[in-house]
Amino acid sequence: MHLKEIESMESNSELSRYLSENCEKITGDFNLLLWWKCNSNKYPILSKWEKNVLDVPVSTVASESSFRTGGRILDSF
């Protein structure tokens, strides 16, 4: 129970530090993943969370082929 309280206090303070920092100016070449990679030591708990949020699997299947059923209908024979 004590460890959970410490962990929640750390995450609250880490979140508070993150939110209280000045915003960076975002330019056309700003890379959010690179920013988190560079700042993961500063925000270890938040960086674990962002990996779950920003790590979206990429699908290589074209959307029309996923919903088209023309080639998958069985013949009566």
Residuewise pLDDT in 10s, the chain (77 residues): 766 665 665 556 788 888 888 877 778 888 888 888 898 898 888 888 888 887 776 666 666 666 666 555 666 66
Please give the pLDDT value at position 54: 77
Whole-structure pTM value = 0.50
Helix and strand numbers (H, E) in the chain are 4, 0
**SS3 category, 22:** coil
Lookup: tokens for 65: 């082929």
Contact indicator for 49, 39 with CB cutoff of 8 Å = no
Please give the pLDDT value at position 17: 82
Please give the pLDDT value at position 63: 62
